[in-house]
Amino acid sequence: MILNTKLPNVGTTIFTVMSKLAQEHNAVNLSQGFPDFDTNPKLVACVNKALQNGHNQYAPMQGIQPLRELICERIENIYGASYHPDNEITITSGGTQAIFTAIAALINPGDEVIIFEPAYDCYSPTVKLFGGLVKPFELYAPNYEIDWQMVKKLFSANTKMIILNSPHNPTGSILSKNDIDELIKITKNTDIIILSDEVYEHIIYDGEKHHSVAQYPELRERSFVVASFGKLLHTTGWKIGYCLAPELLMKEFRKIHQFNVFSVNTPMQYGIYEYLNSENIYQELPIFFQQKRDYFRSLLSETKFKLLPCKGSYFQCVNYSEISEEPDIAMAKRLLTTFGVASIPLSAFYTKGKDDKILRFCFAKNDNTLLQAAEMLMKV
């Protein structure tokens, strides 16, 4: 059979490849971004209660009402932004599904989408799947700052969307207030849509502030905002998140959502609602992960790897150019097979495979796991 593939240059993701290798070699897996510790037993009890109470059938397409109302209340308290629970929020099967659906809803053949690379690997293939043209803007280590005047030069009559990600995966950088001001300037008097991936919004360090596009009316009116309960609650395997958008955009989003997902896990929605309604975890999360970041960085300081800044997310990037000149994919595989530690090479996050000799480690792990990995990395 001969197939006309829609994504001819797409294979298995680097995350799957490295995690599979880690399992085969019994390596410490700091590659894929998931915790190796349990979520709060209270949350599990809330989900079990929902199961026992019979919440086991389809949820409403947009998500259960109590959870949507609670999210809107939280958004207003934290960001001062008002969203209507009925027509401006949808519960999704994780952040990636929300990103996919937003792109599917708005991108037509020939539309141009600006992404900032290194970029989470679902952005570009999804744009291409719907006939869009990806216009990557390369960011440079160690700070990965955005030159907005250069970004504006990428604009054309076909520019339809800009995809943002802050705190940023894989680099751990964050958008500043100046970045927001510049974004407002360059999108003013345009029809450009913003897709803002904010799944690490509460994992931010050193007293820094997360600048959600939801806070700024000039951006809110043109933006999809994507969030993740998996990152918030240490439950990445549950694949539950949500999307915020003004009614005009959300109407288009739901046209797609109703056919590729329709509804999201019902008892988990009720469990998350009950848990978040009784627990205030938003201030605890950055403290929890900053302790892990600082601990991991202190361990890595004893190695030959050069640490890059990490202002948010639970990823630490390192430069290994003083250790080896081999390509980052080869280096990542050698670290795994020879020293027993799995990482992700940053070239996998660039369309053209830009190789700056940088690897990404996930530190959302037990301290013993981080110590074990560091002891192996000290031998490199």
Q: For the segment 26-65, what is each residue's pLDDT rounded down to a tens digit?
A: 999 999 899 999 999 999 999 999 999 999 999 999 999 9
CB of 305 within 8 A of CB of 377? yes
Peptide bond into 167 cis (omega under 30): yes
pTM of the model: 0.97
Q: How far apart are CA 320 and CA 260, in angstroms?
A: 42
52 Cα distance to chain centroid: 32
1, pLDDT greater than 90: no
CB of 128 within 8 A of CB of 134? yes
pLDDT bucket at 213, cuts 50 / 70 / 90: very high
pLDDT bucket at 96, cuts 50 / 70 / 90: very high
pLDDT bucket at 15, cuts 50 / 70 / 90: confident
CB atoms within 10 A of CB 214: 24
pLDDT digits (tens, 9 = 90+) for 130-142: 999 999 999 999 9
What CATH number does the domain located at 14-32+284-377 have? 3.90.1150.10
In this prediction, residue 138 carries a pLDDT of 97
Sign of the dihedral through C-alpha 66, 72, 76, 79: positive
pLDDT bucket at 175, cuts 50 / 70 / 90: very high
The CATH 3.40.640.10 portion of the chain extends over: 41-278
Q: What angle do CA 315, 220, 68 make, to 5 degrees?
A: 75
Distant-in-sequence, close-in-space partners of 88: CB < 8 Å, separation ≥ 6: 72, 244, 245, 246, 247, 250
The CATH 3.90.1150.10 portion of the chain extends over: 14-32+284-377
Of 85, 78, 55, the residue nearest 232 (C-alpha): 78
Q: How far apart are CA 344 and CA 214, in angstroms?
A: 31
Q: How far apart are CA 305 and CA 299, in angstroms?
A: 11
CB of 124 within 8 A of CB of 220? no
In this prediction, residue 186 carries a pLDDT of 98
Determine the average pLDDT of the residues in 228-252.
97
pLDDT bucket at 10, cuts 50 / 70 / 90: confident
In this prediction, residue 236 carries a pLDDT of 96
First to last CA, the chain: 47
- Count helices and strands in the chain by DSSP H and E runs: 14, 13
Q: Could you say which of 3.90.226.10, 3.40.920.10, 3.40.640.10, 3.50.30.30 is the CATH number of the domain covering 41-278? A: 3.40.640.10
Amino acid at 182: E
pLDDT digits (tens, 9 = 90+) for 321-372: 999 999 999 999 999 999 999 999 999 999 999 999 999 999 999 999 999 9
pLDDT bucket at 3, cuts 50 / 70 / 90: confident
Q: What angle do CA 297, 30, 333 make, to 5 degrees?
A: 110
In this prediction, residue 282 carries a pLDDT of 93
Distant-in-sequence, close-in-space partners of 41: CB < 8 Å, separation ≥ 6: none
13, pLDDT greater than 90: no
What average pLDDT does the chain have? 97
379, pLDDT greater than 90: yes
Q: What percent of the chain clears pLDDT 90, i.e. is strictly above it?
A: 94
pLDDT bucket at 292, cuts 50 / 70 / 90: very high
Q: What percent of the chain clears pLDDT 70, i.e. is strictly above it?
A: 100
In this prediction, residue 345 carries a pLDDT of 97
In this prediction, residue 354 carries a pLDDT of 94
